[in-house]
Amino acid sequence: MIAVGTDERITVFNNEAGQITSLNSQQMLERPLAELPEPIREPLRATLETGESQENRELILRWDSEAVAVRASTSIFHGQDRQVLGALMVLTDITAIKRLELQIRRSDRLASLGTLSAGMAHEIKNPLVSIKTFAQLLPERYQDSDFRETFSNLIGHEIDRIDSLVNQLLRFARPAKPVLKPMHVHEILEKSLLLIGHRLFQKEITLTRFWDAPVDTIRADADQLEQVFLNFFLNAMDAMQPGGQLSVSTEILTGEEWVAAMAQTNGDRQPQEILRITIRDTGEGIRSEDVPHVFDPFFSTKDYGTGLGLSVVHGIIQEHGGQIEVESELTKGTAFHILLPLVRFDSEVAAA
């Protein structure tokens, strides 16, 4: 706990605050607010100046080679006559929780990779058949110029296809910190759908796409969004019997109720437009009493699994400044709506 008076001098700096910040709690008393680390100083100063509380802000404190993740909340405190005496900050060390989240995210990636391996093998095997056929026929038809030209072009295309698939799988498997760049959501969705194409065929599930959003640019980490989409796609397929339908659609929302809801999620950022991605299945659905808990860690409606997948997905979308909504009805299916701030870029957008 840290408190500063209206004169911007520290009046409370308890031992726990000293442990979190690696500062001497006794020496910090009566010191000016300016001597606090910037991530702590600025929220306190903002609360003093505006009188507005800040809740559950996640901050990173760095010194030397160490870093501590903290959750911070600030508020104004008053005297008996309601006169403003200063601002108070409560800090909670969440470093261990963040490390656990990272481990869960890595394990979820590995679990998804195991599920996708059969489909990837199928996708790679198809171009290999073409290359093998060309290699077998080449000695007999080497003098046929049309044959050479046709199959030479085909081999180059199939090798590029294999290279793209392998690189995509490697990028997905590699744990990394989120790096937000301008991206096209439709490209990421198409790449994710390519990875599950074989499983859709095996389960006789019909896929429909509705790219209704005329603009699909957001600031995102392509690898992490692939993980999000794949998790939803795999869950949808697990929930459906053969002959089910998977629908993926996008649209732009501009209504005030949507923008207001996203503004609360994003804090200071005020999105003007929202890109909504909807993933809908015709599976068994989720019981109404279970819907509020689908993103809780270790909660699962399956007989197998850890129940961590959707919890990780929820965290990734929050890091992207978005949110997820769920609608479901037993025996009729489930829809997950992913809401992300739409950003219109003047410069060229990176390829996913």
Average pLDDT over residues 314-340: 89
How far is CA 321 from its chain centroid? 9
Question: pLDDT tens, 97-123?
Answer: 877 776 666 666 556 666 566 566 666
Question: pLDDT tens, 200-248?
Answer: 888 899 999 999 999 999 999 888 898 889 889 988 998 899 999 999 9
Lowest-confidence region among 19-23, 259-263, 337-341: 259-263
- pLDDT band for position 279 (50/70/90)? very high
The dihedrals phi and psi of 245, each to the nearest 5 degrees, come to: -130, 130
Provide CB contacts within 8 A for 26, sequence distance 6+.
none
How far is CA 282 from its chain centroid? 24
User: How many Å apart are CA 273 and CA 253, to the nearest integer?
Assistant: 6
Strand 2-5 versus strand 245-253 pairing type: unpaired
Question: pLDDT tens, 21-46?
Answer: 888 888 899 999 888 888 888 889 88
Lowest-confidence region among 161-170, 218-227, 260-269: 260-269
- pLDDT band for position 286 (50/70/90)? confident
Query: Do 2-93 and 99-341 fold alike per CATH?
Result: no
Tokens of residue 231, six digits = 């998790």
Average pLDDT over residues 313-342: 89
Taking the model in full, what pTM does it have?
Answer: 0.52
Tokens of residue 132, six digits = 């093998």
Alpha helices in the chain (DSSP H): 15-21, 25-28, 38-50, 95-141, 145-173, 185-195, 197-202, 222-239, 256-266, 309-319
The dihedrals phi and psi of 3, each to the nearest 5 degrees, come to: -130, 145
Confidence at residue 136, expressed as pLDDT on a 0 to 100 scale:
83
∠ CA 273-223-162, nearest 5°, is 125
Confidence at residue 344, expressed as pLDDT on a 0 to 100 scale:
86
Question: Quick one: CATH architecture of 99-341?
Answer: 2-Layer Sandwich (3.30)
In which element (H, E) is residue 85 found?
strand 84-93
CATH of range 2-93; options 3.30.450.20, 3.40.50.300, 3.40.50.410, 3.30.565.60: 3.30.450.20
Q: Where are the domains of the chain?
A: 2-93, 99-341
